[in-house]
């Protein structure tokens, strides 16, 4: 789950959220949205670029927290995360519950089958105007920003940390309420680690493209130092334990 802040009233509401009625996002559905061109095609293209960028990251040395694998994006079926151990569905739904999450500062909320997002201005069509594609300020997200969100929520799903299942959701919010943990929440540490690793990947790629050896060396030094220290907001892999088994596709 990604959020700017948490509050006790939000946690009480989120305990009972199940991802109410809405629409399921797929590239084909987005492209058919009843919105004037070129918005639908542009949103679908951004999503495809985001998945390509996420897969470059997943194949890079910066990926430490997610297991080795790749995100597959089907025009008709949406996303799934595929590894040698199995496949996790990463469906995206824009729902009324996603709207509630946005009202409390969240960009998305993880589920066992993927994650929910909420409707965003100008709210012409949930398939196009939602928090997968639109930033808090109303600007359309870049492919990098969309990839960032997808990878964060995929980490929640794969490691079953956060509101992935009813009792996990109860545990998540009890920890938030009674231990006052927000950015340092135990169920956010692996997703936060993926966030950092993806940022390192993006920055490293840009510095290599610019042939900026001095800043690249500084970045490498920072990463090595960060990974060698203990932090209460992130937990980087690789780990001795494997992620829980993916759901049975049957």
Interatomic CA distance for residues 48 and 146, integer angstroms: 10
Backbone angles phi, psi at 215, to 5 degrees: -70, -30
Closest by CA position to 70, among listed 150, 159, 166: 150
Q: Which H or E element spans position 78? A: strand 78-83
Q: Residue 2, SS3?
A: strand
pLDDT greater than 70 at residue 127:
yes
More confident site: 13 or 79 = 79
Please report the pLDDT score of residue 244 as a whole number: 93
pLDDT greater than 70 at residue 11:
no
Low-confidence winner among 78-87, 103-112, 182-191 (lowest mean pLDDT): 182-191
Closest by CA position to 93, among listed 61, 121, 63, 116: 116
The domains of the chain are located at 2-227
More confident site: 169 or 40 = 40
Instruction: Provide the mean pLDDT of the chain.
Output: 90
pLDDT greater than 70 at residue 129:
yes
Task: Provide the percentage of residues in the chain whose pLDDT is more than 90.
Answer: 75
Please report the pLDDT score of residue 10 as a whole number: 47
What mean pLDDT comes out for the span 201-223? 98
pLDDT greater than 50 at residue 241:
yes
| pLDDT tens per residue, range 173-209 | 787 777 666 677 888 999 999 999 999 999 999 999 9
Interatomic CA distance for residues 246 and 21, integer angstroms: 25
Interatomic CA distance for residues 173 and 162, integer angstroms: 9
Task: Provide the percentage of residues in the chain whose pLDDT is more than 70.
Answer: 89
| pLDDT tens per residue, range 34-78 | 999 999 999 999 999 999 999 999 999 999 999 999 999 999 999
What mean pLDDT comes out for the span 77-89? 97
């Amino acid at each position: 789950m990604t959020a700017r802040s948490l509050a006790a009233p939000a946690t009480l509401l989120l305990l009972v959220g199940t991802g109410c009625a809405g629409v399921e996002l797929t590239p084909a559905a987005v492209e058919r949205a009843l919105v004037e061109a070129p918005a639908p095609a542009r949103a679908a293209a951004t999503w495809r670029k985001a998945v390509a960028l996420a897969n470059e990251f997943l194949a890079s040395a910066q990926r430490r927290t997610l297991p080795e694998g790749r995100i597959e994006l089907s025009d008709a079926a949406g996303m799934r995360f595929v590894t040698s151990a199995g496949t996790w569905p990463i469906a995206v739904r824009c729902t009324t519950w996603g709207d509630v999450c946005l009202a409390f500062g969240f960009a998305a909320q993880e589920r066992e089958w993927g994650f929910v997002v909420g409707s965003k201005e100008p709210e012409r069509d949930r398939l196009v105007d939602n928090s997968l594609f639109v930033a808090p300020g109303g600007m359309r997200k870049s492919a990098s920003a969309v990839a960032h969100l997808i990878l964060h929520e995929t980490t929640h799903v794969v490691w079953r940390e956060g509101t992935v299942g009813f009792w996990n959701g109860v545990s998540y919010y009890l920890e938030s309420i009674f231990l006052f943990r927000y950015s340092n929440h135990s169920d956010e540490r692996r997703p936060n680690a993926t966030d950092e690793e993806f940022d390192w990947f993006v920055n490293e790629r840009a510095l290599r493209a610019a042939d900026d050896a001095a800043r690249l060396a500084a970045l490498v030094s920072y990463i090595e130092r960060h990974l060698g220290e203990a932090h209460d907001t992130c937990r980087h892999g690789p780990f001795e334990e494997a992620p829980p088994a993916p759901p049975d596709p049957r």
